[in-house]
Amino acid sequence: MGSREEKVRPIVFSGAQPTGQLTLGNYLGALSHWVAMQEDHDALFCVVDLHALTIRQEPEVLREQVLSLAALFLACGIDPEKSTVFVQSHVPAHAELAWLLSTFTQMGELERMTQFKDKALRHRQNVNAGLFTYPVLMAADILLYGTHRVPVGEDQKQHLELARDVALRFNNLYGPTFEIPEPFISKGGARVKDLQEPTKKMSKTAESELARVMLLDDAQAIMKKFKKAVTDSLAHIADDESGQPGVTNLLNIWGAATGRSMEEALAHFSHNQYGKLKVETAEAVIAILEPIGRRYRELNTDRSYLWEVLQAGAAKARERAEGMMVRVMDRIGLPLERQRFRG
Ligand code: TYM
């Protein structure tokens, strides 16, 4: 952490859950921006395995998915020389700070979280307290590192607002302690929709396989899914999100995958039929995902390298997190053990 240049780089933190494979939505909304931001930020990227526990997991499957998600981060272009890549449960301060912050978070605030309401409906048999306090753990993840920017998809915006509110509340009570994090939500890729029900977000849990493109889908599967994507019977291509959600979604995906704006997407496709929009969108996505799949298959077999990366990442993250924990505990009035007190 020595050089001066490094000290002034803004801090970026983000994470993804090791629950099943990632979707194209995860990539366009989040991971593609992580890769870009690591170039000029002090970046930390985390496999948030503690968050995944809010839904019942098979121990063997979870263990495997934590490692394969780390491999996927690297395959997408996260460079462990530039970014700190680690597993949330390797840094106990996440859970520790989450407890402290839960005492600065109101029940009413958590009750308003739309993701909690949705998940509580979908998992009626297991509406556990962790599902409810999930956003507090997420606030802890972010605030532990003095994070300036958090690149996420649109669906995480409300959680980030809560993290900001909690940080402000704490700072007002105890003096400046936490950085107030800014969401970084891209224009194009932040709301990738389900290909079968394009008013819903593309998610790992959609029932139909055709609804989502997975990062490790092969070219044939990707082409098939886009060809079968639901559009409408209007037979014209315009940016009318409420009237043509399926078409808007494809335009959005094509734009995000090729680095073009919605205006450029419209100019490119406006005199064409849906068939061309679907095929070109699939081709743009295949061009991105094919090399990711190739790198993933190499990396995921080299478990000793992955462990090396994750251990080095955890050591760096633990050290940074400890500095913040000491500060927070001290402010609140928790007596610090001598070995913990490092000034
Ligand atoms: P998760 O694991 O559900 O998703 C990882 C990232 O992918 C984004 N995303 C999408 N973006 C665009 N379109 C979509 N259809 C789409 N689906 C998912 C998500 O917004 C997210 O950025 N709670 C978080 C993980 C988390 C976290 C954090 C993120 C835990 N702590 C601290 C940032 C900072 C989650 O469940 O993401």
CATH code: domain of residue 20: 3.40.50.620
Q: Where are the alpha helices (DSSP H) in the chain?
A: 4-8, 24-26, 32-37, 49-52, 59-76, 93-102, 107-111, 114-122, 129-143, 157-174, 219-227, 245-258, 262-269, 274-299, 303-332
Q: Measured in angstroms, how far is the CA atom of residue 97 from the centroid of ligand 1?
A: 20
Residue pair 24/254 in contact by the 8 Å Cβ criterion = no
Distance CA 266, CA 19 (A): 35
* 184 and 278 belong to one structural domain: no
Instruction: Measure the CA–CA gap between 224 and 265, rounded to whole angstroms.
Output: 21
Candidates 45, 9, 24; CA nearest to 316 is 45
Mutate which of 44, 152, 191, 204 to test ligand 1's pocket (most atoms within 8 Å of Cβ)? 152
- Give the angle 20-23-26 at the CA atoms, nearest 5°: 105
- Same domain? For 218 and 109 the reply is no
Are 25 and 159 part of one and the same domain?
A: yes
Task: Give the model's pLDDT for residue 330.
Answer: 95
> Is 37 in the same domain as 179?
yes
Rounded distance from Cα 191 to ligand 1 centre (Å): 11
| Residues 145 and 20 both lie in one domain | yes
**Is the separation of the CB atoms in 49 and 66 below 8 Å?**
yes
Distance from Cα 333 to the centre of ligand 1, integer Å: 34
Instruction: Give me the pLDDT at residue 343, please.
Output: 44
User: Does residue 121 belong to any structural domain of this protein?
Assistant: yes
CB 256 less than 6 A from any atom of ligand 1: no
Task: Tell me, yes or no, whether 176 lies in a domain.
Answer: yes
DSSP state of 30: I
What local confidence, expressed as pLDDT, does residue 7 receive? 62
Domain carrying residue 226: 209-298
Whether 320 is in the pocket of ligand 1, judged by its Cβ within 6 Å, is no
DSSP state for residue 27 in the 8-state scheme: I
Mark whether 72 and 180 lie in a shared domain: yes
Q: What per-residue confidence (pLDDT) applies to 239?
A: 83
Q: Are residues 105 and 238 in the same domain?
A: no
Do 80 and 127 lie in a common domain? Answer: yes
Alpha-carbon torsion, ordered 199, 272, 225, 207, to 10 deg: 20
Please indicate whether residue 155, judged by its CB atom, sits closer than 6 Å to ligand 1.
yes
- The answer as to whether 194 is a domain residue is no
202 close to ligand 1 (CB < 6 Angstrom) = yes
State the closest ligand 1 atom to the C-alpha of 190, by its place in the atom list counted from 1.
Answer: 12
pLDDT (tens digit, 9 = 90+) per residue, 181-213?
Answer: 999 998 878 899 999 999 999 998 888 999 999
SS3 of residue 166 by DSSP: helix
Residues of the chain falling short of pLDDT 50: 1-2, 343
What pLDDT shows up at residue 342? 53
pLDDT of 58 reads 97
Same domain? 307 vs 220: no
